[in-house]
Structure 1
């Protein structure tokens, strides 16, 4: 009985000693202006819960296999497959005033990208950091696909609750697991069709 009590006390002590998120690791999301609390790096390596599941669906659009089609109204991204199918992902899109459409190509791919807020964002939000190294705390998440010469990217997010919403400054957000999957499928030069 004494051994059980000691083991239970040690287990409780270990749980209470688990690292908490330090106040210094909380920053304001540049798009939603809400506080972001980041879990320890070990937690960010776990798969994110899929609020909108990734799945293969029938696709009748007239786009070549390998094309990425972003339906901002439906808040879905499609990676076109052969045989009139596509992989459908849930996305977050630009909030009102930050919507856009076009057909850029992917000009660069980056794993765990650094973040340098563009001047336009810094004018709106001078409190933002000027630079943030890539990693679990970075708002761009696990991967980024840069679109043409624009300021926009398709990138991951450490805020899975924003997927399916219109909250960004124009970038296309994905769950980290989903953006890694897409990153592994596309190449520099892949065409991206953004529909409004």
Structure 2
């Protein structure tokens, strides 16, 4: 009987620890801990990433679903998609800009869709990081991942990433990043003219 209780106690304690882990992972960083979420080098250790998975209704954000609608919530680091007929709703974790000055909010639209995008740093990126290459072809080293939705705002995209550590973090120079499998899904559902709102 003692062995059974010991085993149960061990299993119970292990189960409690496993169940507690996701809650710890979603706690926001506090300034007093010395943990800095804004990182210049994603390879540096960051203890937590944050993404909130809460379903939303489109009506507070859009007057209609003409051409479909994409809502990006910078605070919760989540991208919401509604199809034009309202039958399809998708929610994806995303990466967001590093700092408020790199963040653009407001209404825009998808103006171009590219599978296998190439990448060039913007003039401001090149100024901040002169060592960056002038051009990166499509492929595993491309920061735009496998697909990109170009927005009506110059230099702004919703795109994939090959560096999955960025998702759920402040890690971009202004764009919104998704896992490659998620951007492929979103790419197939959106069209030129899909309305986009960043809040």
Normalising by structure 1, we get a TM-score of: 0.69
Gaps of 5+ in 1: 1-30, 36-50
C-alpha displacement of 1:59: 3.1
1:59 maps to 56
1:95 maps to 98
Cα distance 1:132–1:186, how it changes in 2: closer, same or farther (>3 A)? same
Output the aligned Cα RMSD. Answer: 2.5
C-alpha distance in structure 2 between counterparts of 1:34 and 1:163, whole Å: 11
From 70, 73, 76, the equivalent of 1:71 is 73
Write the mapping of 1:45-194 to structure 2, written as runs, cut at 5 A: 58-62=55-59, 63=62, 64-65=64-65, 66-81=68-83, 82=85, 86-96=89-99, 97-194=101-198
2:34 maps to none
1:33 maps to 41
Cα distance 1:83–1:112, how it changes in 2: closer, same or farther (>3 A)? closer
CA contact (8 A) 1:156 1:175 kept: yes
Number of aligned positions between the proteins? 149
Cα distance 1:181–1:131, how it changes in 2: closer, same or farther (>3 A)? same
C-alpha displacement of 1:98: 1.5
C-alpha displacement of 1:72: 0.7
After superposition, give the CA deviation of every residue in 1:17-64 in whole Å (9 maximum; x if it has no partner). Answer: xxxxxxxxxxxxxx84346xxxxxxxxxxxxxxx979x9x75323133
Gaps of 5+ in 2: 1-38, 44-49
C-alpha displacement of 1:83: 5.0
What secondary structure, in the 3-state scheme, does the structure 1 residue paired with 2:108 have?
A: coil
After superposition, give the CA deviation of every residue in 1:159-178 in whole Å (9 maximum; x if it has no partner). Answer: 11110101111100000000
After superposition, give the CA deviation of every residue in 1:114-155 in whole Å (9 maximum; x if it has no partner). Answer: 111111100000000000111122111000111104211000
Normalising by structure 2, we get a TM-score of: 0.68
